[in-house]
Structure 1
Amino acid sequence: MRIRIIDAFTDRPFGGNPAGVCVLDGDSFPDDTWMQRVAAELNLSETAFAHARGGQDWALRWFTPLTEVNLCGHATLATTHALAEDGLAAATVRFDTRSGILAATVAADGSITLDFPRSPVIPIEALPGTAEALGVPVVASYDTGALADLLVEVADEHTVRTMAPDLAAVARLATRGVIVTAQAADPASGYDFVSRFFGPAVGVPEDPVTGSAHTALAPLWSARLGRDELVGLQASARSGLVRTGLRGDRVDLTGRAVTVLDGNLAAYA
Structure 2
Amino acid sequence: MDLDDVPAVASGSAGGIPNDPDAMPAAPDYDTMSFGELLGDANWKAHKAAFDRLANGGEDVDVGAFASMLPKLVKDVNGPAADSFVEALATALEDEVVDAAAVAEVALGPVADKGLTGRQRAAAASARVLKALTTAGQGEPVFAALAKGMSAKAPKLRHVSIQALANVVKELGIHHFNLKQLIKAIVPLFNDTDAKVRKEAMTAVTHCYRFVGAGIEPFLTDVRDVQKQELDRMFAAVSDELAASHGTHKAPAAGRAPGNGAGKPEGLERRSQSPPDMDALAA
TM-score by length of 1: 0.29
Q: Which one has the bigger strand percentage?
A: 1
Whose relative contact order is higher, 1 or 2, with alpha carbons under 8 Å and at least 6 apart?
Answer: 1
TM-score by length of 2: 0.28
**Bigger-Rg structure (1/2):** 2
